[in-house]
Structure 1
Amino acid sequence: MASEPGTPPSRQLPGHIAAALAGAGGATDSAGRPWAGRSLAGDDAKIHNFDDDDGTADAGYLAAVAGLRAGTGSESSVVASLATARVFIPIVAQLAEEEESAHGLQADKQADMALVTLKAADGRTAMPAFTSAAALPAWHPEARPVAVYAARAALSAVAEGAELLVLDPGADVTFVVRRPAVWALAQQQDWVPSYLDADLAAEMGRAAGSFPAVRRIELLPGRGVASRAADGTAIPGGGAGPELQVVLYLEDGLDAAGVQQLVAGLQAEWSRNVLFGERVDSIEIKLRRAAE
């Protein structure tokens, strides 16, 4: 039977993320220290936590990616390694105001610095981040690297309306952190892929129980979980999605219209579930006979 892709509708931001975004630009920094009375001398001169950073990729991240490539690691291990990793996000100059010179020529009067965002193949906004300082100028020579913890990069992605965090675009291995993992990273929580999420499977199974023609469901990795290294090697993770394949085992006797109505009803039921909205990035549905 045919497979049908789908993407859950946009959901309200989790409370922790909304609170963090609401606090941006406030009277204190992210550690709660007041901005008032600060100087640029002494301890205050240290404007970030990476003054002694040599710009190389985080060892934990490299080990997690190596494990994934070797088949001994997992997507969740790679995302977990980002919890304490430093990354570089690219910003570029963006003309904010222009003026005419004495000779009638246009000249830049004021420029702002802006985060770089990308458009994914499915039209969603993605934010690039780089695990090493050398990887960023190789991708965009005019971009300036800003060192941040990966969790802060994830929060910035949410603030920019980006659903994907793309690590090292154009490098040997490009790893895409999908929306549920971006949200978990921004909240500094553990992430479990939807195809391994027992709580999610139970919720989706309960919803499917309202449709008598559905005998059982099975959650598997979707076709979009895998990615490829620059040399063509297949990697079992880091893809942009769809990341969840839902197999519906149906009773015999349903015609095409009945199947279509059932799938539409199930998707509508799942889309109203808060857990589904938070933990599923995109799905594909495969139909099988219950006897299979």
Structure 2
Amino acid sequence: MASNEPGTTPPQRHLPGHIAAALAGAGGAFDSAGQPWAGRSLAGEDARIHNFEDDDGTADANYLTAVAALKSGHGDETGVISSLATARVFIPIVAQLAEEAEGQDGLQADKQADMALVTLKAADGRTAMPAFTSAAALAAWHPEARPVAVYAARAALSAVSEGAELLVLDPGSAVTFVVRRPAMWALAQQQHWIPSYADDALAHEMRQVAAGFAAVRSLELLPGRGVAARAADGSVLAGGGAGPELQVVLYLADGLDAEGVQQLLAGLQAGWSRNVLFGERVDSIEIKLRRAVH
């Protein structure tokens, strides 16, 4: 049995209580100085590049080291996420027209320009928030955006508050690294992130659900085909992709027809989706079917 099921992305989930509490207590719609993004002008103190003193705007050294290790094959995406725990990043904010006034020539004039966070749409339709590890990378991406420096954990909280499921580091740069939702949530809480494909506790919970289906002999968790990312130079990195994140290999007993397989998959995914650990630690999945070896 060697059929493949297409990757699926679970719908956006309600925030767990501890994440909602963290969001209420810090970050969210506020910058690193605790000031709201909304209602800013482009003049005076609001035009400052960022709020970190003696910051030269270059990328965090630990992050660069972790990405270099990932590119060389000696590191993994867990190391990159860990490096972000203490890293400063830049969030782009752009002017948007808050109010219009009619000028003397009868044309609409910009009466007030507020500042807004930038969000993007990923290829699969999910909301993504861009962040940049250096001021130069942000300027190259959007010369008119104002860089506001925040710790990466605060950027993750802001992404959560915007309903984003992805935090995209350095879009358009030599290396674009996608922080998927479970890693983003862990970063926002300043907790260690374990990839779903290497998570023993998650594997146990998923096997517990699968044990209720007689046709499932065993299952295996592997990195999904979307874990890898491609750098601008064409090299492939073993991490930083947008997903699918988790490949679930199901070893099934003989005798199931197509309808039986579909019913089995629907039952499994329904059972997994009700599991709290699965909801928090799995971003997107793809399922492969294999014949169990007797």
Tell me if structure 2 keeps the 8 A contact 1:226–1:234: yes
CA RMSD of aligned residues (A): 2.2
Counterpart residue number, 1:286: 288
- Return 101-110 or 177-186, whichever deviates more: 101-110
SS class of match (2:135) = coil
Map 1:45-84 to 2 at 5 A: 50-84=52-86
Structure 2 CA distance, aligned partners of 1:260 and 1:48?
53
Counterpart of 1:18 (choices 17, 20, 26) is 20
Distance in 2 between the 1:207 and 1:170 partners? 41
Unaligned runs of 5+ in 2: 35-48
TM-score normalised over the length of structure 1? 0.91
Q: Give, in whole Å, the separation in 1 of the partners of 2:52 and 2:18.
A: 25
Which residue is 1:197 aligned to? Answer: 199
Q: Structure 2 matches for 1:1-292, cutoff 5 A? A: 1-23=3-25, 50-291=52-293
Where does residue 44 of structure 2 map in the other structure? none
TM-score by length of structure 2 reads: 0.90
Counterpart of 2:153 in 1: which secondary structure? helix
Tell me if the contact between 2:206 and 2:272 (Cα under 8 Å) persists in the aligned partners: yes
Say if 1:172 and 1:229, in contact at 8 Å, map to a contact too.
yes
Give deviations 1:226-285, integer Å, cap 9, x for gaps. 010101001110000001000000001111100110011000000000100000000000
SS in 2 for 1:134: helix
Preserved contact between residue 9 and residue 271 of structure 1 (Cα < 8 Å): no
Cα distance in structure 1, aligned partners of 2:119 and 2:161: 12
Aligned-residue sequence identity (percent) comes to: 80
C-alpha displacement of 1:30: 8.4
Cα distance 1:49–1:143, how it changes in 2: closer, same or farther (>3 A)? Answer: closer
Distance in 1 of aligned mates of 2:199 and 2:280: 12
One-letter amino acid of the structure 1 residue matched with residue 80 of structure 2? V
2:145 counterpart letter in structure 1:
A
Q: CA deviation at 1:48?
A: 7.2
